[in-house]
Homo-oligomer: A and B are copies of this chain.
Amino acid sequence: MIENLTRLRVRYADTDQMGVAYYARYLEWFEVGRTEMLRALGLPYAEIEKQKVALPVLEAHCKYHRPALYDQLLRVASRLKEMPRARLRIDYEIFDEAGELLAEGYTLHTFINPEGRAVRPPRVFMQTINEFFTQP
């Protein structure tokens, strides 16, 4: 399993008039989580895009346990639990400063070229991921 922890702060822009973070914003935080996980792997998403491969989202899911509040410093845990093939699934958990689980979810991605057609993951991508999954 590949795992990454990153932190971010809830902005005023993230809140709504219920006094909590708006539910769509969590998907932006998932994006922050996977971006940092890829960077930590040595595969920054900006580099993947330069190789003319994009990872659009096929599916997104979020369960909201407790509301995230303005100015909280959240921790986003992103996990790649299975070796990706045609599809790549990333799981997320979002915690507050006290370690309470606020939300969890996943995104499912595919690899496409600039014409929007499904392609194989870039070789360097698979090699890097492979090394992590075959580590003893």
Residues in A lying within 8 Å of B, measured CB to CB: 9, 11-13, 15-20, 22-25, 27-28, 31-32, 35, 44-46, 54, 56-64, 67, 70-71, 107, 116
Contact = CB atoms under 8 A, between A and B. Distances in A.
Contacts of A24: 13, 24-25, 27-28, 31
Work out how many copies of this chain go into the complex: 4
A12 B54 CA distance: 12
Given A13-B28, A18-B56, A27-B27, 14 more contacts: A9-B35, A11-B32, A11-B35, A17-B19, A17-B20, A23-B107, A24-B24, A44-B71, A57-B64, A58-B64, A59-B64, A61-B61, A61-B62, A67-B116
Nearest to A15: B17
A38 B132 CA distance: 42
A87 to B, nearest CB: 13
Contacts of A70: 17, 46
A23 B61 contact: no
A20 to B, nearest CB: 7
Contacts of A116: 67
A16 B16 contact: yes
